[in-house]
Amino acid sequence: MPRVWFHVDVNSAYLSWSAVKALRAGGPGTLDLRTVPAAVGGDEEKRHGVVLAKSLPAKKYGIRTGESLFAARQKCPGLKVVPPDFDWYVRCSKAMFAIFNDFSPHIEQYSIDEAFLDMTGAEEQFGPPVQAAAALRGRIRGELGFTVNVGIAPNRLLAKMASDFAKPDRTHTLYPPEIPQKMWPLPVGALFGVGPSAAQRLNAMGLQTIGDLAAADPNALERALGARGLVYWDYANGRETEPLNHTAVKDNSYGNSVTTARDLRTPAEADATLLALCESVAARLRADGKTARVVTVQLVDAAFRRKSHQKTLPGPTDSTDLLYRTAQELMRAIWPALGVRLLGVTAEKTGTEHFEQLDFFIDTEKTQKLEKLDRTADALRQKFGEKAVVRAKLLTPEARAPGALSAAKERDKHRKK
């Protein structure tokens, strides 16, 4: 049976979710952020003074995700900027994935706002793929108040490419016979996995479009770009020879990740960011009365290659210090030569156990003091705000450099059922 994959992607996720929350809180007459030049932006006093998401009207002014809010306001002085609300974003994401579960038992989460659904064999229940996609979009729009694009294809690669066609609230197919018409005319930089640096190198070889890349000599690509050149050539021809990086939807997992403003060259440069991530994850565990047994660290290097490593702890924990020390060990074990552009930490196999496995090599009294400090800090932050207590490491020069302080909430992937 031919495979059928959906790639579902929320349209301007953070902006859309912020708009839905504002509309629900404000009632009739409230401004819909999606209809005006608007952006979700972080703290302008730190590196997070950047555009995290933008509305379609803002895009018409040339505003780009990742640029500074200062630059965005230069392009559009009347830009409406709202702060991110990651807890709300997690709730919206979970509600969307609950709907996915009604359409497919096989879901692969790609990020907080996108996923792959294996819809092979679902026609008897939902009708042809385009009809099923319309039903899925309609439920999300009607029940949750935001819109998604759905890409339909025989593999994940083409489905993801299709979902990025015209927006918002659209369904697009990308079957092999449609590749020459729909995909090959696109700029080579629009191909999945081809970053700005790779696009420049391909352009320098005279390859301007995905079609040019598909017709290129694979041996020449391999000589110029190594093994990655052959992957790009396969992708340009619609072949998913290297699986897309994805994360299966997992029950009871808590995680955060961040894309840094610049590549981090050494583990020491990433330590402050790692601590911020671990502190956020551990705080969520404690808030929900949960502990975790497995810690996973994920890195994406400058060439968009993804690595991950995990470790099972001697016993369940919700300690920021233990998560951080474990994550440090894992990060250093897989640190890539090209440096890191994305860093993530996940605590998995969670439960409600709070017993501690005795270890002769661990100072139990110190551990208990650290746990007490964690809970005291949680209480102070809940009462007086996130900045009421800040770890000393997050006040160092390295933490103030791009890619460090408050990194934990840039890209939230907290999931639990």
Q: What is the pLDDT of residues 380-403, one digit of tens each?
A: 555 555 554 555 544 444 444 333
Q: Is the peptide bond before 37 cis (omega within 30 degrees of 0)?
A: no
R_g of the chain computed on alpha carbons: 22
Beta bridge partners of 173: 152
Closest CA to 14 of 114, 98, 100, 163: 114
pLDDT for 366: 54
Distance, in Å, from the CA atom of 347 to the CA atom of 345, rounded to the nearest integer, reads 7
Domains of the chain by range and CATH? 14-86 (3.40.1170.60), 184-236 (1.10.150.20), 250-412 (3.30.1490.100)
Q: Are 222 and 234 in contact (CB under 8 A)?
A: no
pLDDT for 401: 38
10-residue stretch averages of pLDDT, the chain, 417 residues long: 93 95 87 95 62 91 87 93 87 94 91 92 95 98 97 96 96 98 97 88 96 96 91 94 55 72 84 85 82 91 82 88 93 91 85 52 52 61 51 47 37 40
pLDDT for 250: 47
Q: Are 146 and 17 in contact (CB under 8 A)?
A: yes
Distance, in Å, from the CA atom of 97 to the CA atom of 253, rounded to the nearest integer, reads 14
C-alpha neighbours within 13 Å on the C-beta side of residue 77: 0
Strand ranges of the sheet holding 80-82, from the earlier edge strand across to the other edge: 51-54, 38-41, 80-82
Residue partners of 104: CB distance under 8 A and separation at least 6: 6, 117, 118, 119, 122
DSSP single-letter state for residue 68: B
Active-site entry in 45, 67, 108, 114: 114
Write out the E strands in 230-367.
Answer: 247-248, 254-264, 292-301, 306-317, 340-348
Tokens for 182, please give them. 């729909």
Write the burial class of residue 336 (CB in 10 Å: 0-12 exposed, 13-18 middle, 19+ buried). Answer: middle
Beta bridge partners of 145: none
pLDDT for 255: 81
Q: Are 165 and 150 in contact (CB under 8 A)?
A: no
Closest CA to 147 of 113, 112, 104, 110: 113
Beta bridge partners of 340: 264, 301
Place of tokens 């808590």: 254
pLDDT for 379: 60
Active-site annotation holds for 114: yes
Q: Are 356 and 370 in contact (CB under 8 A)?
A: no
Place of tokens 């005319």: 185
Distance, in Å, from the CA atom of 122 to the CA atom of 132, rounded to the nearest integer, reads 9
Residue type, 190: A
Tokens for 118, please give them. 């294996």
Residue burial 234-252, b: 16+ Cβ < 10 Å; e: rest: bbbbbebebebebbebbee
